[in-house]
Amino acid sequence: MKTWYVEDAGGGCRAFGEVVVLVCEETREIYSARIPVTWTNKMGWEELVCQLMLGLMKEAQATSEDKYLVCSGNIFNVYHNWLKEHNYNWETHKMDGLAHEAAEGEFHRMVVEAGFPEEIKLEERDYRSYYSQIEQWVNACPERKKLYWKDREVRKKPSKPRYILKSTMARTRTCRHCQKVISPFSPVVELKIRQEGRKQRYFYHPGCSPAKPLKTQLNLFEIDWNGGKLTGIIVPCPETIHCSICGQPIDPGQKTFYAYDENLLICGHPACFEKSFNNNRAQTI
């Protein structure tokens, strides 16, 4: 059984790709891979790193019988999960010694191959100064910057769709599913997602939403109304209105009940509806 150390270098530098290494201190075996500055196969950064690490393990003939001490950095998140799912003997570890030296050495070798002065090296782990000099050297030449500047977009973690149950407030929205109008002061499911680097927002009727919202910002309020039940929402009043029960004005910012009786919007002080109807109940979902 061997003990393998997994380390990376170059993540804090805005130029050049990162490097990852698989190192066995007992046998002095060192296997390394370089992550490109960009790629076009739509694979995530962490997934690409995991793929490269599996390639190094195959090259080193490392097995599940061996032990793996892995850097805890986010770059290895997917690799951590892979080791766990495949029942490997592994744990995170603060790197030093041969693994650290191998990773930093491979990163320096990569930048020197591009023409960076070999004598400018990492000294006493002063990464800020070292990386700053590399970045300045790359920035000094447009052609070098084109070749060696990191693509941060492909390294971003893919955003997960966020479905939120909330109110339309005073705005009218259009349901993305049925294309029908969602009236003001109605429950609505809002989807926030990043597409092609841009944040997008879509709206759905709660019954049209493709997923159950994991988060809610909606306060529902149910009342007895004209012999039946009527469910509305309680939200801050956006502008001065008059209560449908007492007729008194409601100032902007005050909590206000809104509901639709067929197509008629009724609104007012929640306390007025509680006072007028005995079986009211408030619920937050």
pLDDT interval class at 283 (50, 70, 90):
very low
Query: β-strand 67-70 against 215-216: which pairing, if any?
Result: unpaired
- The residue among 160, 135, 165 whose CA lies nearest residue 149 is 135
Rounded to an integer, the average pLDDT of 115-134 is 94
Q: pLDDT-based confidence at 198, cuts 50/70/90?
A: low
Token pair belonging to 119:
């004598």
CA torsion through residues 229, 231, 232, 233, sign: positive
Q: Of residues 192 and 118, which shows the higher confidence score?
A: 118
Average pLDDT on 235-244 reads 93
Helices 77-85 and 45-60 meet at what angle, rounded to 10? Answer: 50
Report whether pLDDT(129) > 90: yes
Query: What local confidence, expressed as pLDDT, does residue 229 receive?
Result: 85
Q: How confident is the model at residue 285 (pLDDT cuts 50, 70, 90)?
A: very low
DSSP letter string, 28-42: TEEEEEE--S--SS-
pLDDT at residue 176 is higher than 70 = yes
Structural domains in the chain?
3-148 (3.30.420), 162-215 (3.30.1740.10), 219-284 (no CATH)
Residue 108 · residue 13 · CB < 8 Å: no
Beta strands 19-24; 3-9: pairing state = antiparallel
Task: Check residue 157 and give its pLDDT.
Answer: 73
Q: Percent of the chain, pLDDT > 70?
A: 93
Quote the pLDDT of residue 80: 95
178 has pLDDT over 60: yes
Task: Give the Cα separation of 57 and 72 in Å (integer).
Answer: 18
pTM equals 0.58
Judge whether 19 and 34 are in contact, CB under 8 Å.
yes
Q: How many Cβ atoms are within 10 Å of 10's Cβ, its own excluded? A: 25
Give me the pLDDT at residue 276, please: 60
Report yes or no: 174 and 152 within 8 Å, Cβ to Cβ. Answer: no
Closest CA to 191 of 173, 183, 180, 181: 173
pLDDT band, very low/low/confident/very high, at 160 (cuts 50, 70, 90): low
Q: Token match 């012999």: residue?
A: 227
